[in-house]
Amino acid sequence: MRLLTLPAPPSTTPPTERARALVFEDPRSQQLLQRVKQVASTDAAALLSGETGTGKEILARHAHELGGRRGRPFVAVRCGALSPSLAESELFGEEQATGARKRGLLDAAQGGTLYLDEVGDLPPGAQARLLRVLQEREVVRAGARKPTPVDVRVIAATNVPLESVAAAGGFRGDLLARLSGAHVAVPPLRERQGDILPLARYFAGLYGRRPGAAPCALAPSAAELLLAHPWPGNIRELEHVIHQASLVCRTGRVTRDDLRFTSLHPKAPAPPRAPSTVDGLMATLETTIAALFESGCPNVHERVEELVIRATYRRCERNLGQTASRLGVSRDVVRARLLQSGEIATPPTSEPPASLARTGEARAAMRELVAFDS
C-alpha cells in the first residue's frame, strides 16, 4: 500500500483540521498520484483544488519532494489565518525607513516551496505582489522602492471554485491564470471508495499505538458502515471517527456501534455575491476580459462588442432605436452588427409587382406632360 503522511506530530496531539494521511489504492487515487508526479517535474506554479480535508497539503509536499527542490524549505501558509492588514508584510516582508528589514514567509521559503492554502482568501494587495513574484521572479516588499529577486516555487490550494470568485471580482483573473498552468483536481473521499478502509485501518493502528490505548481492528459491520457513509468531511472526518471509535472500543474490534458520525451531508456552496456598484461591475468585466486574453481567446474585441450589442438589443425589446440610444452609437452600426451576428435576418430583396411598376410609369409620363404644357 502506498502511503503518504504529514510530518509526525507529538503523540499527544489530537486529530488536526487537515488530512494527515493519503493512500492510493483506488484507481482514481492512482491517477491522482500520476498527475502529481507530472506537476512535480516542472517548476511552474501549481494549483490544487478540492474539498477541505482531501489531502492537498500532503500532495503539495509530495510534489516538493519529487521535484528539484527536495531538501530545501517547504513553508505552508494558511491564507485565511493571515490578518488582512498585515498579510503583505507577513508574506513578503517589510523594509522600514531606518533600513531595517523584516523577513517574510517568502524569505523563509527561499530556494524551496511556498504552499498557500486557501489562496482565495488573500487580500487584493497580496494578490498583486504574488502575481509579480510569479511573473518577474521578484518581489517589492512593503515600504521598499526596489524589487528583490526571489527563487521560490509557489503551490496554491483552494476549496472553492476560484473561477466563480474571480468572475464576481473577488480574485484576480490574471493571477488565477498563472496559478492554473499546472492544475491538479483532488477528488473527494466518497469518489475514492477503495481508499476508505485502508485509511481507516491506518488510523486505527495509529491511535492504537498511543500510550494507554489498545490496538483495534475493524469488524465487518464497521467496514460496511464506513463504506456507506458519504464523508462530507473527507479524510479529516474519517480520522476523527476512527479516533473516537478507538477510545470506546472494548473488545479489540471496532464495531458499527463504536462509530459516531457528526457531520451532515454537504451543502451546496453559496454562489459568490456579484458586486452591485458600477465600479464593482466594471472591475468584474475587466477581470473577465483579462481572463479571456490569458486563455488565448481569438478576436476578443469583436466577440465582446457583439455580445454587448446583442444583449442590449434584447434588453431593449429588440428596438433598434432604443438600442442605439443606450449604447451611444448610430442605428446603422447597431443594425450592421446584428445582421453580422445573425441576431436579425437580412430582409428579402424582390422586384415590385407589375401593377405597381405600371402605376409608376404612368405617373412619370403624366409629370413629363405637365412640364411640357407649362
What would the pLDDT profile of 12-25 be if each residue is shown by its tens digit?
445 555 677 899 99
Is residue 133 predicted with pLDDT exceeding 50?
yes
Query: Residue holding cell 533600513?
Result: 99
**Calpha distance 152→73 (Å, rounded):** 9
More confident residue, 367 or 118: 118
**Calpha distance 208→23 (Å, rounded):** 19
Domains detected in the chain: 27-189 (3.40.50.300), 194-258 (1.10.8.60), 278-341 (1.10.10)
The pLDDT confidence band at residue 276, using thresholds 50, 70 and 90, is: very low
Q: How many CA atoms lie within 13 A of 137 on its CB side?
A: 8
Is residue 242 predicted with pLDDT exceeding 80?
yes
What would the pLDDT profile of 307-329 be if each residue is shown by its tens digit?
888 888 888 878 888 888 888 88
Residue-by-residue DSSP string for 303-317 = HHHHHHHHHHHHHTT
Give every CB contact of residue 309 below 8 A, 6+ residues apart in sequence: 323, 327, 334, 337, 338, 341
What would the pLDDT profile of 223-241 be if each residue is shown by its tens digit?
999 999 999 999 999 999 9
Is residue 218 predicted with pLDDT exceeding 70?
yes
